[in-house]
Amino acid sequence: MKRFFPRSLLGQVILAVALTLFVMQGINGILAWRIEKDRQDTAVVNTLGFRFVAASRIADMSESERTVVIDPRRTARPRRDSRFAGEGRARRGFANAAFERSDTFPSLAGDKRMADLEARLADTLRSNGRSFSDIRLVERALADDPVAVRFFQRRAMRRAMPEGVPQTVAVAGIETPDGWEIVRAAKPPARPFTGPLIYLVRAAGLTLILSLVLWFVLQRITRPLAELTRRTERFSSDPGNYEPIDPSGPDDVRKLITAHNAMEARIGAMLDEKDVMLGAIGHDLKTPLAALRVRAESVPDDTQRARMAETIEEITHTLDDILALARVGRAHGEPERTDIAALAASVVDEFEDLGEPVQIAELEKAAAPARVNWLKRGLRNLVTNALRYAGEAQVSVIRDAGSIILRVDDRGPGIPDDRIAEMLEPFARGEASRNRATGGAGLGLTLARAVAEQHGGTLTLANRKEGGLRAEIRLPA
> Do both 309 and 440 map to the same domain?
no
Nearest C-alpha neighbor of 243 from the set 251, 235, 255: 235
> Do both 389 and 417 map to the same domain?
yes
The predicted model scores a pTM of 0.49
Which of 129-143, 154-168, 441-455 is predicted with the least confidence, judged by mean pLDDT? 154-168
> Do both 303 and 346 map to the same domain?
no
Residue 179, pLDDT above cutoff 80: yes
CB 469 within 8 A of CB 463: yes
Q: Does a structural domain hold residue 87? A: no
The per-residue pLDDT for 407 is 93
Q: Does a structural domain hold residue 109? A: no
> Do both 346 and 470 map to the same domain?
yes
* Per-residue pLDDT reduced to its tens digit, 189-233: 665 555 567 777 777 888 888 888 888 888 877 888 888 888 888
Residue 412, pLDDT above cutoff 80: yes
Amino acid at 230: R
Q: What is the CATH number of the domain that holds 417?
A: 3.30.565.10
Q: Does a structural domain hold residue 99? A: no
Nearest C-alpha neighbor of 457 from the set 384, 375, 398, 397: 375
The per-residue pLDDT for 326 is 67
Count the domains in the chain: 2
Amino acid at 22: F
The per-residue pLDDT for 137 is 92
Q: Does a structural domain hold residue 79? A: no
CB 67 within 8 A of CB 85: yes
* Per-residue pLDDT reduced to its tens digit, 236-256: 766 766 778 888 888 888 898
Residue 443 CA to residue 437 CA, distance in Å, equals 14
Predicted confidence band at 18 (pLDDT cuts at 50, 70, 90)? confident
Residue 16, pLDDT above cutoff 90: no
Q: Write down which residue in 333, 357, 373 finishes a domain.
A: 333
The per-residue pLDDT for 329 is 59
Predicted confidence band at 31 (pLDDT cuts at 50, 70, 90)? confident
The per-residue pLDDT for 348 is 92
Predicted confidence band at 61 (pLDDT cuts at 50, 70, 90)? low
CB 385 within 8 A of CB 471: yes
3 state SS for the chain: CHHHCCCCHHHHHHHHHHHHHHHHHHHHHHHHHHHHHHHHHHHHHHHHHHHHHHHHHHHCCCHHHHEEECCHHHCCCCCCCCCCCECCEEECCCCCCCEEEECCCCCCCCCEECHHHHHHHHHHHHHCCCCCCEEEEEEEEHHHCHHHHHHHHHHHHHHCCCCCCCCEEEEEEEEECCEEEEEEEECCCCCCCCCCHHHHHHHHHHHHHHHHHHHHHHHHHHHHHHHHHHHHHHHHHCCCCCCCCCCCCCHHHHHHHHHHHHHHHHHHHHHHHHHHHHHHHHHHHHHHHHHHHHHHCCCCCHHHHHHHHHHHHHHHHHHHHHHHHHHHHHCCCCCEEEEHHHHHHHHHHHHHHCCCCEEEEEECCCEEEECHHHHHHHHHHHHHHHHHHHCCEEEEEEEECCEEEEEEECCCCCCCHHHHHHHCCCCCCCCCCCCCCCCCCCCHHHHHHHHHHHCCCEEEEEECCCCCEEEEEEEEC
Higher-pLDDT residue of 284 and 228 is 228
Residue 438 CA to residue 166 CA, distance in Å, equals 103
> Do both 317 and 363 map to the same domain?
no
Could you give the percent of the chain with pLDDT greater than 90? 13
Q: Write down which residue in 315, 333, 351 finishes a domain.
A: 333
Residue 333, pLDDT above cutoff 70: no
Q: Does a structural domain hold residue 117? A: no
Query: The domain containing residue 326 runs over which residues?
Result: 238-333
* Per-residue pLDDT reduced to its tens digit, 105-141: 888 888 888 888 889 999 989 898 888 899 999 988 8
Mean pLDDT of 380-409: 90
Predicted confidence band at 344 (pLDDT cuts at 50, 70, 90)? very high
Amino acid at 217: V
Nearest C-alpha neighbor of 123 from the set 217, 33, 46, 20: 46
The per-residue pLDDT for 331 is 56
Predicted confidence band at 71 (pLDDT cuts at 50, 70, 90)? low
Q: Does a structural domain hold residue 128? A: no
Work out the mean pLDDT of the chain and round it to a whole number. 79
Long-range contact set of residues 230-236: C-beta below 8 Å, sequence gap at least 24: 231/260, 232/260, 235/264, 235/267
The per-residue pLDDT for 383 is 93
> Do both 272 and 380 map to the same domain?
no
> Do both 310 and 339 map to the same domain?
no
Residue 291 CA to residue 449 CA, distance in Å, equals 34
Q: Write down which residue in 303, 333, 363 finishes a domain.
A: 333
The per-residue pLDDT for 3 is 61
CB 173 within 8 A of CB 136: yes
Antiparallel, parallel or unpaired: β 393-400 and 403-409:
antiparallel
> Do both 316 and 435 map to the same domain?
no
The residues, any chain, with a CB within 8 Å of residue 326's CB and separated by 6 or more, are 274, 275, 278
Predicted confidence band at 79 (pLDDT cuts at 50, 70, 90)? very low
Residue 440, pLDDT above cutoff 70: no
Mean pLDDT of 311-321: 77
Higher-pLDDT residue of 136 and 324 is 136
Residue 392, pLDDT above cutoff 50: yes
CB 379 within 8 A of CB 408: yes
> Do both 381 and 462 map to the same domain?
yes
> Do both 312 and 375 map to the same domain?
no
Residue 83, pLDDT above cutoff 90: no
Which of 86-90, 133-137, 139-143, 312-316 is predicted with the least confidence, judged by mean pLDDT? 86-90
> Do both 353 and 284 map to the same domain?
no
Most confident stretch, 226-235, 244-253, 327-336, 345-354: 345-354
Residue 78, pLDDT above cutoff 70: no
Q: Does a structural domain hold residue 272? A: yes
> Do both 387 and 444 map to the same domain?
yes
Most confident stretch, 266-280, 287-301, 334-348: 334-348
Query: What backbone torsions phi and psi does residue 6 show, to the nearest 5 degrees?
Result: -65, 145
Q: Does a structural domain hold residue 273? A: yes
